[in-house]
Amino acid sequence: MKLSPSAKVGGVMLGVFVLAGLLGPLIAPYDMSVVHDTTKEAFQGSSGTHWFGTDSNGRDTLSQLLWGARKALVLSVIVVAISSTIGLTVGTVAGWFRGWVDEVLMRLVDILMSFPGILLNIAIVAVVAKPGLGVIVLALCANGWVGYARVARGQVLALRERDYVTAAVSLGASNRRVMWRHLLPNLMGPAIVQMTFGFGGVILVEAALAFLGLGPQLDYTWGAMLDQARQLIFLTDWVVTYTLVPGVAIMWVVLGANLLGDGLRDYLDPRQRGRG
């Protein structure tokens, strides 16, 4: 069977985001480091020179969008890489060894899942004394690995009953060899689906934290743009564009990730087709 059209659309949407992240700072029409005369250049509307206008500092909105794409891409790649590594390891170990190891690890997963949405992320960012990019990564990974662990454990519980695993164990393969060579490669499919969804999730949470004014005050991230828009919401005409530009960008990535993730899941497991 082939990948569904909506999955392809999602793939293209994510592709555009990755390209914008890679090339953004190079193709951005304006340099972000230039200090502008705010009395003349701030709060401009859409024009030929500034397609989406400028912000309170007179900086070009389109350029901020493109620089923001770079930040979002870097952050989501780091967080997805760390979370999936931790999660897949924990899930594989729990599912393979079972017993108390499984019990302890899964209780930890349950506890982390008892914090709804961004609450734990907020709590971590809030208590750290010196917020930097590392804090955001820590906060996002702290519960980000849980989803991967559940996926990996579920897969391993099914895989461990397979004949080839029994064969490997009978031949004297060590636990480590079974996990690395026989289990991990076979659970990569569902893991990649989870990673695809993860991209959207990371960007959404990072933007929410920045929007609430928590964590490092990084310049020109999409969340920081939304925060600026909210603070100046009384400037009605200007703020519509300045809210829509980063907002639609976030929505674009999340939608692309969801479409591609859904499509990949159906592709890998046709029985799940059309379900929630």
Partner 1 sequence: MFLLRRLASGALAILGVSILTFLLLHMVPGDPVDHLAGGEATVEQRQKIEKCMGLDKSLPAQFITFLGHIVDGTLGHQCPDPKGKPTVAARIFAALPHTALLAVAGMIVAILFALPLGIIAAIRRGSWVDTLATTTALSGIAIPQMMFAPLLVLVFFATLAWFPGPTETGFAALVLPAFAVGTHLMAMLARMTRSSLAEVLGEDYVRTARAKGLPEGRVILVHALRNALLPVITIIGLQFGSLLSGAIIVENVFSRPGLGSTLLSAILERNYPVVQGTVLVIATIYVLVNILVDVAYGFVDPRIRHQ
Of 24 and 261, which CB lies nearer to partner 1 in the complex structure?
261
Q: Looking at 107, 162, 175, 268, which residue binds partner 1 (CB under 8 A)?
A: 107
Query: What long-range pairs does 120-127 form, CB within 8 A, spacing at least 24?
Result: 121/205, 121/209, 122/209, 122/212, 122/214, 125/209, 125/214, 125/215, 126/214
Taking the least distance from each CB to partner 1, the nearer of 58 and 223 is: 223
Which residues, listed in sequence order, are joined to residue 60 by a DSSP beta bridge? 54
Distance (Å, whole) CA 208 – CA 120 = 13
- Shorter beta-carbon distance to partner 1: residue 126 or 167: 126
Return the number of the residue (168 or 212) whose C-beta is nearest partner 1. 212
Tokens 């090339």 found at: 23
Q: How far apart are CA 31 and CA 95, in angstroms?
A: 51
Total residues in contact with partner 1, by rule CB under 8 A: 50
Binding partner 1 by CB under 8 A: which of 101, 169, 230, 267? 230
62 or 124, CB closer to partner 1?
A: 124
Produce one character per residue of 33-57: b if its CB has 16 or more CB atoms within 10 Å, e if not.
Answer: eeeeeeeeebbbeeeeebebbbbeb
Q: Does position 198 bind partner 1 by CB under 8 A?
A: no
By the rule CB under 8 A, 270 interacts with partner 1: no
Q: Is 183 in the site for partner 1 (CB under 8 A)?
A: no
When asked if residue 146 is in the footprint of partner 1 (CB under 8 A), the reply is no
Which among 56-64, 89-97, 173-181, 223-231 is the span making contact with partner 1, rule CB under 8 A?
223-231
Which residue pairs, CB below 8 angstroms and at least 24 apart, start in 173-182? 175/96, 175/97, 178/96, 179/92, 179/93, 179/96
Q: State which residue, 81 or 104, has the beta carbon closest to partner 1.
A: 104
Kindly tell me which residue out of 127, 163, 176, 185 binds partner 1, with binding defined by CB under 8 A: 127
* Residue 276 binds to partner 1 (criterion: CB under 8 A): yes
Q: How far is the CB of 138 from partner 1 (least distance, A)?
A: 8
95 closest CA partner among 193, 2, 162, 41? 162
Residue 65 within binding range of partner 1, rule CB under 8 A: no
Segment 234-263, which members bind partner 1 (CB under 8 A)?
236, 239-240, 243-244, 246-248, 250-251, 254-255, 258-259
The rounded distance, in Å, linking the Cα atoms of 146 and 77 is: 17
Q: Does 12 participate in binding partner 1 (rule CB under 8 A)?
A: no
Q: Which of 116, 172, 185, 270 binds partner 1 (CB under 8 A)?
A: 116
CA distances from 89 to 156, 176, 207 (A): 11, 11, 28
Residues near partner 1 (CB under 8 A): 107-108, 110-112, 114-120, 122-124, 126-130, 200, 204, 207-208, 211-214, 223, 226, 229-230, 233, 236, 239-240, 243-244, 246-248, 250-251, 254-255, 258-259, 274-276
